[in-house]
Amino acid sequence: MLPITEIRTKASQWLGSEFNEETRNEVREMLDKDEKKLIDAFYQDLEFGTGGLRGIMGAGTNRMNIYTLGMATQGLSNYIIKQFGQSGIRVAVAHDCRNNSRYYAETTADIFSANGFDVYLFEALRPTPELSFAIRHYKCQSGVVITASHNPSEYNGYKAYWNDGGQVVPPHDKGIIDEVRKIKSVKEIKFKREKKKIKIIGKETDALFLQEVLKMRLNPDIINEFSDIGIVFTPIHGTGGTLIPDALRLFGFRNIISVPEQDKVDGNFPTVKSPNPEEPDALKMAIDKAIQTGAELVMATDPDADRLGIAVKDKHGNFVLLNGNQTGVILTYYILSQYKERNKYKGNEYIIKTIVTTDLLDKIAESFRVKCYNVLTGFKFFAELMRKLEGKETYIGGGEESYGFLPGDYVRDKDAVASCALVAEATAWAKSRGMSLYELLIDIYVSYGIYKEKLINLVRKGKEGADEIKGMMKSYRNDPPEEINRSKVVRIDDYETLISVNYVTGEKNNIGMVKSDVLQFFLEDGTKISVRPSGTEPKIKFYFSVNTKLESSLKFEETEKLLDQRIQGIIADMKLS
């Protein structure tokens, strides 16, 4: 960390006339009265990483503000010009519900316009998948969405996209980072707006996007028969409310129930601890509303509406939360089965999942003779593969365990708008077969085997924490366990060396992916354990996946408990509890 004298010198530079009065006042306040806050704000520069920026809002080099955002946008602009030339450049800009998101989006649009680009700026908050759609529809070279996903309310972020509508991947990510790092002063940022270069878009783009969403509908007749299914939807104060109720109605559903307190756009997220649809607390109000109204399905989206959490009734009539793997399994099975019923297969279809997502998706795809590609964590790798296979093979769906799913290829990022509509449709389809969505999931388990997954995050903050995480990964590589929870390790995949070692045969194979700091242990009993440090937070992630045969739906709860016990045994054996 920088000495306090250097931090104060660095902060004093933010008192210059190139910074606005609000920023200068905030910096003065820190210099005069709050050394701890000053250190946090200036001890390092907010890093533009492969996914863009994300940080706490406020004045300072380590904060999200129009100056750190401006340097990122200017660097991105310089890279775009290097790649595509000075003229004819188009970019799209969107934002979510967070505090300052509109301000940041307009600032981003101003800088793009000052660099000579034609800018398509959404009139108000919109879901991230619609930004991806707009890039493709308006034939843009790049785009940006202002969002910090499900982070706490004090955060905001900046995600950069490329001309295919996917987040930037190599070599462009490194190229953009290099250009951003070349910006040494805010004086290099072109802030002055070229108003004629900025086009405001809104309802007309919504309509075009929703028409593509509607193409994902597979069973309009069944929806018509069960159009009165009670569906509670909450955007948790975010962008989902702008399009998802419309998408559900467009599909044909009529009984859509809102949670009025959470329909209100509010970057402070006053009704939840965290606006994260993975968290039970985030769905509590919606579940209470479903109980009051007799609804059958609960759905919630994160602030930028790219991730989806759902709750369904179990056989006892109680609402249970499905995890991202389970939602992905239901949607994948539903889509693939309906393709088969309609003879839509041409023999070149495929789905995508990440290496830490349930392997049940591989089995389902195999049963329908559909390819299943595995990629590294992050939907940018979905987009990259889709671009490579465009015109050769047909993408029909895919998802990751972290609550993201994308049906169809009209966008290149996870899409909770279409996913919500398809979950509702799958509910209607299950009902037409005399089942609930929960019973459909158990039916899938009976056919393919029951898979149970769990994620543990070990948080290790600061330099000591970072060193500890590196030490753990080094230990797992240099001295890997021979068995875990009394089951032999039969294979280890190391994505840093890109070598897979089979300890039964001694065979070594290359892993055909880009390098990543991930280790996977495959056990004799079918268990898969994945270990990877987080790329955005001070934590190391452990993904556990166990499976076994499910003899009948009557034995579901009993079998699920046995798998839970196996996971707990693994956690205890690895000393993670």
pLDDT in tens, 499-532: 999 999 999 999 999 899 999 999 999 999 999 9
Asked if residue 50 has pLDDT above 80, the reply is no
- What CATH code is carried by the domain that includes residue 161? 3.40.120.10
Asked if residue 491 has pLDDT above 70, the reply is yes
Any domain includes 192: yes
Asked if residue 538 has pLDDT above 90, the reply is no
pLDDT at 150: 87
Same domain, 548 and 530: yes
pLDDT at 464: 80
Same domain, 250 and 148: no
Q: How does DSSP classify residue 94?
A: E
* Beta strands at 155-162 and 371-375: parallel, antiparallel or unpaired: unpaired
Any domain includes 17: no
Asked if residue 49 has pLDDT above 90, the reply is no
Same domain, 462 and 409: no
Domain stops at, among 139, 168, 201: 201
Domain stops at, among 201, 225, 242: 201
Q: What is the pLDDT of residues 105-125, one digit of tens each?
A: 999 999 999 999 999 999 999
Any domain includes 269: yes
Q: What is the pTM of this model?
A: 0.95
What is the mean predicted confidence (pLDDT) over 42-52? 87
pLDDT at 180: 94
Same domain, 388 and 411: yes
Domain stops at, among 425, 448, 471: 448
Same domain, 197 and 220: no
Tokens for 323, please give them. 């995890």
Same domain, 162 and 232: no
Asked if residue 268 has pLDDT above 90, the reply is yes
| Distance (Å, whole) CA 473 – CA 494 | 11
| Distance (Å, whole) CA 48 – CA 311 | 36
Same domain, 222 and 194: no
Same domain, 458 and 418: no
Any domain includes 44: no
Residue 372 in contact with residue 329, Cβ under 8 Å?
no
Same domain, 340 and 466: no
Whether the bond into 171 is cis, omega within 30 of 0: yes
What is the mean predicted confidence (pLDDT) over 359-364? 98
Of the residues 149, 153, 487, 516, only one is catalytic, namely 149
Any domain includes 9: no
| Amino acid identity, position 479 | D
Total structural domains within the chain: 3
Any domain includes 20: no
Same domain, 415 and 455: no
Asked if residue 276 has pLDDT above 90, the reply is yes
Tokens for 552, please give them. 């009948």
Active site residue 149: yes
Q: What is the pLDDT of residues 213-223, one digit of tens each?
A: 999 999 999 99
Same domain, 473 and 517: yes
Tokens 């593969």 found at: 385
Asked if residue 463 has pLDDT above 80, the reply is no
What is the mean predicted confidence (pLDDT) over 87-98? 97
- What CATH code is carried by the domain that includes residue 553? 3.30.310
Strand order of the β-sheet with 90-95 is 53-56, 155-162, 142-146, 90-95, 118-122, 198-201
Q: What is the pLDDT of residues 8-20, one digit of tens each?
A: 999 999 999 999 9
Domain that residue 505 falls in: 450-573
pLDDT at 74: 98
